[in-house]
């Protein structure tokens, strides 16, 4: 599922990013429910 730049990030996506070591769980909790901008390099898994 594509993530719109600057759009809300689903919790499942944050968990996936965290599982891949891209976003630590504390950051994921901070980002949950907020508008965030994910750069293309963050989405390259």
8 Å CB contact between 43 and 8: no
**Residue-by-residue pLDDT tens, the chain, 45 positions:** 455 555 566 767 767 776 776 666 566 666 665 555 555 555 554
CA distance 40 to 33: 20
Residue 16 CA to its chain's centroid (Å): 8
Give the pLDDT score at 7: 58
For the whole prediction, is pTM greater than 0.75? no
Give the pLDDT score at 9: 66
Which tokens belong to 4?
């719109």
Which DSSP string corresponds to 1-45? ----TTSBPPHHHHHHHHHTTSS-HHHHHHHTTSB----HHHH--
């Amino acid at each position: 599922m594509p993530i719109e730049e600057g759009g809300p990030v689903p919790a499942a996506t944050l968990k996936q990013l965290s599982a891949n070591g891209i976003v630590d769980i504390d950051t994921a909790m901070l980002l949950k429910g907020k508008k965030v901008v994910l750069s293309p390099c963050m989405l390259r898994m």
